[in-house]
Homo-oligomer: A and B are copies of this chain.
Amino acid sequence: MTPGSKDVAPEIPVTLETIQAAAERIGPYIERTPVLSSRSLNEPAGAEVFLKCENFQKVGAFKFRGAMNAVLSLDEAARKAGVVTHSSGNHGQALARAGQLAGVPVCVIMPRTAPLVKLRATEAFGARVVLCEPTLAAREAAVAAEIDKHGYELVHPFDDWRVIAGQGTAALELLEQAGPLDVVVVPIGGGGLASGTAIAVKALSPSTKVIGVEPAAADDAARSIEAGRILPSGDPKTMADGLRTSLAPKTFTVLSRFVDQVVSATEAETLASMRLVWERFKIIIEPSCAVPVAPIHHRKIVVAGKRVGIVITGGNVDLDAIFDALRTKFVDPAPEASNG
């Protein structure tokens, strides 16, 4: 799987040492999230499965690690000028919060179609939000315009070595907390988390197998690694909204070299695994996190007798529909003459 296309960045500057330095740098700002296990997942798989719960991370997702590392890695001039990114989701909020903590101005480009609640949450962390049309061209133009005008530095959501190094710090903690692991399973969207995880795990424990999982409808990583060049997924339809993105040059290079296997999960498998985790672990995970649980839960990969770690990426679920239903049922029904 030696990549040969022009898409490919030739060097991988992120190493175990880079990731350890990132861990040191962001240590005062991040949560050391817990590792949970449950026999409802262990027993059917015949394995010991450990969930590294980044849904408990600041801003509700591992993205805060990469964003914080990027912001703390800026030179003095860049810290003053500030940073810009494009994101309608967790990375935008993570960068906003990182900038707020480090005193660095943050600008987030969001599509006009993004939910108002995400816009407000990003602004609540002190970021300036700039809206653009929901197309790639409009987004890139908006980023370029903001850089021109304000001298911002771009912090890409995943195709950025500082971000990749920051995301790798979750795997360092997972191995410390769970002990030796035979397999580490990680979701693949743009590939930032998978890249950082794979570099860290393969350096610390070369015999540990690193398995990436992506939605069946957004299986660009498997296809790209197989083909030796980036084959993006178009406009994939999957509830795992954090995994709709395709690989980029840096993450493609890393995953081609360090990931042992890429498997996929159907929407039905993902939903069933999300329910298992909500119901039995009592934690809120977003659909993207259920994707790496699915192959274990549905025995698509054999892990019997193994010690398996899964990075649970975040818990930012849109709860509006759920709580609207509960409100209609319990709070605003036709009033009864009760409690007499």
Q: Which residues of A contact B (CB under 8 A)?
A: 34, 36, 53, 55-56, 60, 217, 233-239, 267-268, 271, 274-275, 278-285, 287, 315, 319, 321-323, 325-327, 329-331, 336, 338-340
Contacts and interface: CB of A to CB of B under 8 A. Distances in A.
B338 A279 contact: no
A308 B97 CA distance: 26
A280 B124 CA distance: 14
A60 B340 CA distance: 33
B338 A237 contact: yes
Contacts of A233: 339
Of A234, A267, A325, the most chain B CB neighbours within 10 A belong to A267
A217 B338 CA distance: 8
Rank and list the top 10 A-B pairs by shortest CB-CB distance, nearest first.
A282-B315, A239-B330, A55-B282, A282-B284, A237-B338, A267-B331, A268-B331, A275-B323, A217-B339, A322-B322
A34 to B, nearest CB: 6
Contacts of A287: 330
Contacts of A330: 238-239, 267, 271, 287
A339 B234 contact: yes
Contacts of A322: 322, 325
Most buried by B among A236, A279, A280: A279
Contacts of A238: 330
Nearest to A33: B282
Contacts of A282: 53, 55-56, 60, 283-285, 315
A36 to B, nearest CB: 8
A138 B237 CA distance: 53
A260 to B, nearest CB: 25
Given A271-B331, A287-B330, 8 more contacts: A236-B339, A267-B330, A268-B327, A271-B326, A275-B323, A282-B283, A283-B283, A321-B325
A239 B275 CA distance: 21
B283 A327 contact: no
Nearest to A39: B58
Contacts of A327: 268, 271
Contacts of A340: 234
A31 to B, nearest CB: 10
A153 to B, nearest CB: 28
Contacts of A36: 56
A43 to B, nearest CB: 12
